């Protein structure tokens, strides 16, 4: 445990907050193979970064990402910026020989992702995409079950990521709704999560066919000051054009023959952040719901016919039978969203010391991007697309 890894984090918004928390907390719970020093937080607005530095637990603040990335005092570069800067920062970091952890989605497109992967490989750094849901304990347990053959050969994968913040037509324009700044809508933002889980749990996609739709094509540039706005005022408000999808669905086939159905939407009234999935195999099934994340449902085709049924596994076994949880609290106490980041950082740190790959690598990020693009191509052409 002698070694110390010094982290430089680029970005200080919502994801910066979540990553900072994980960097602070991971060493408190997990027996890491290195000390972690939260060396520098970096963002464009020097004053804002400085103002939040101590609160988030960092030793230094910077507004020059390149300086951080190239600093000999930094071992790990953690990229928590908006998507359009991932590639540039990651490539520079890899070239500087730094291990790189990058928020999802890895890049704006396949080309960027390829360049990022190439840079990481060429410079032999450890590279990881922060797809935190892989390390929800219930998902990690699902992966273990599948690996042990508990559900046999997979035949169906079905997932849906449903939110509802765009149901309201008065929700105003944001950079996330502009294709130039965001790349895509629900597709790149949340479909990518379930694409990553599909690849993690089932394997590579072979071909896909999709559908993307924008329900509300124009939105007010600013949020209405009141719900009781007069019709005249409403008519006079300035509108911006929404250029990304509100919803993206696709069906597909995996290389191993399993069938896929995925859906991402920001227009499912009442679904706040619901990622559900079900996997059916020749020997059993698994199902999961992110809104009840401490649970995994498992059906096993065996035993007495009168006892068959989905088991409701509370993935918080006090004696360490379940992944990650024994590092926290006894008595099967619940974990939440933030802990998935702790697990990510913990595994990443250990991989940096061991010099071993740690999933999801940039190669995973690239493959996710290839699936995203294949779906987009299929939508454009109205037919199936190979991945």
Window contacting a second copy (CB under 8 A); options: 3-11, 73-81, 107-115, 327-335:
327-335
Tell me the three state secondary structure of residue 317. Answer: coil
Distance CA 361, CA 341 (A): 15
Window contacting a second copy (CB under 8 A); options: 171-179, 270-278, 348-356, 357-365:
270-278
**Single residue of 77, 87, 89, 141 touching a second copy by CB under 8 A:** 141
Interaction residues for a second copy, span 52-91 (CB under 8 A): 55-57
Q: Is 160 in the site for a second copy (CB under 8 A)?
A: yes
**Single residue of 186, 293, 349, 358 touching a second copy by CB under 8 A:** 293
Number of residues that this document lists for the chain? 387
Interaction residues for a second copy, span 180-199 (CB under 8 A): none
Interaction residues for a second copy, span 337-366 (CB under 8 A): 337-339
Q: Which of 13, 75, 86, 15 is nearest to 40 (CA)?
A: 75
Q: Is 149 in the site for a second copy (CB under 8 A)?
A: no
Smallest separation, CB 46 to a second copy (Å): 22
Smallest separation, CB 201 to a second copy (Å): 15
**Single residue of 225, 228, 270, 356 touching a second copy by CB under 8 A:** 270
Binding-site string for a second copy from residue 164 to residue 183, where x marks contact by CB under 8 A and - marks none? xx-xxx--------------
Contact 43, 87 (CB under 8 A): no
Is the Cβ of residue 94 or residue 335 nearer to a second copy in the bound state? Answer: 335
Contact 222, 167 (CB under 8 A): no
CA-based radius of gyration for the chain: 22
The position carrying tokens 């004053």 is 47
Q: Is 4 in the site for a second copy (CB under 8 A)?
A: no
Q: Is 95 in the site for a second copy (CB under 8 A)?
A: no
Interface size with a second copy, residues (CB under 8 A)? 96
Window contacting a second copy (CB under 8 A); options: 81-89, 159-167, 179-187, 227-235:
159-167
The position carrying tokens 């690239």 is 366
Q: Is 281 in the site for a second copy (CB under 8 A)?
A: yes
Distance from the first to the final alpha carbon of the chain: 43
Q: Which of 264, 153, 258 is nearest to 199 (CA)?
A: 258
- Using omega within 30 degrees of 0 as the cis cutoff, is the peptide bond preceding 105 cis? yes
**Single residue of 120, 267, 345, 358 touching a second copy by CB under 8 A:** 267
Distance CA 246, CA 167 (A): 9
Is the Cβ of residue 109 or residue 285 nearer to a second copy in the bound state? Answer: 285
DSSP string computed for 87-143: HHHHHHHHHTT-EEEEESS--SSHHHHHHHHHHHHHTT--EEEE-GGGGSHHHHHHH
Q: Is 309 in the site for a second copy (CB under 8 A)?
A: yes
Tell me the three state secondary structure of residue 346. Answer: helix
**Single residue of 285, 344, 361, 370 touching a second copy by CB under 8 A:** 285
Q: Is 386 in the site for a second copy (CB under 8 A)?
A: no
Question: For residue 278, how many other CB atoms are within 10 A of its CB?
Answer: 17
Window contacting a second copy (CB under 8 A); options: 78-86, 312-320, 347-355, 366-374:
312-320
Distance CA 224, CA 177 (A): 17
Interaction residues for a second copy, span 207-246 (CB under 8 A): 209-211, 213, 215
Q: Is 104 in the site for a second copy (CB under 8 A)?
A: no
């Amino acid at each position: 445990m002698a070694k110390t890894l010094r982290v430089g984090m680029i970005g200080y918004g919502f994801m910066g907050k979540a990553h900072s928390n994980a960097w602070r907390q991971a060493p408190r719970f997990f027996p890491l193979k290195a000390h972690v020093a939260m060396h520098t937080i970096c963002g464009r607005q020097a004053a804002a970064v400085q103002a939040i530095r101590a609160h988030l637990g960092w030793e230094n603040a910077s507004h020059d990402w390149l300086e951080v990335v190239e600093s000999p005092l930094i071992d790990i570069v953690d990229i928590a910026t908006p998507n359009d800067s991932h590639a540039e920062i990651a490539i520079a970091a890899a070239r500087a020989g730094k291990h790189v952890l990058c928020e999802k989605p890895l890049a704006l497109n396949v080309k960027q992702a390829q360049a990022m992967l190439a840079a990481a490989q060429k410079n032999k750094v450890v590279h990881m995409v922060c797809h935190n849901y892989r390390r929800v304990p219930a998902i990690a347990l699902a992966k273990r079950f599948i690996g042990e053959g508990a559900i046999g050969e997979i035949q169906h994968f079905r997932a849906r990521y449903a939110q509802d913040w765009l149901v309201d037509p008065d929700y105003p324009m944001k950079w996330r709704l502009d294709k130039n700044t965001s790349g895509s809508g629900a597709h790149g933002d949340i479909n990518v999560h379930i694409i990553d889980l599909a690849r993690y749990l089932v394997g590579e996609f072979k071909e896909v066919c999709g559908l993307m739709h924008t329900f509300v094509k124009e939105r007010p540039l600013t949020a209405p000051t009141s719900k009781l706005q007069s019709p005249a005022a409403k008519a006079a408000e300035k509108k911006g054009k929404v250029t990304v999808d509100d919803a993206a669905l696709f069906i597909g086939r995996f290389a191993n023959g399993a069938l896929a159905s995925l859906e991402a939407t920001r227009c499912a009234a009442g679904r706040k952040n619901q990622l559900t999935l079900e996997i059916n195999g020749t020997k059993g099934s698994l199902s999961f719901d992110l809104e009840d994340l401490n649970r995994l449902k498992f059906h096993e085709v065996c035993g007495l016919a009168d006892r068959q049924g989905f088991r409701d596994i509370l993935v918080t076994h006090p004696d360490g039978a379940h992944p990650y949880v024994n590092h926290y609290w006894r008595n099967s106490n619940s974990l939440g969203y933030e802990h998935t980041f702790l697990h990510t950082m913990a595994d990443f740190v250990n991989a940096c010391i061991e010099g071993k790959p740690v999933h999801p690598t940039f190669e995973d990020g690239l493959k996710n991007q290839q699936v995203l693009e294949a779906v987009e191509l299929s939508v454009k052409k109205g037919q199936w697309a190979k991945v």
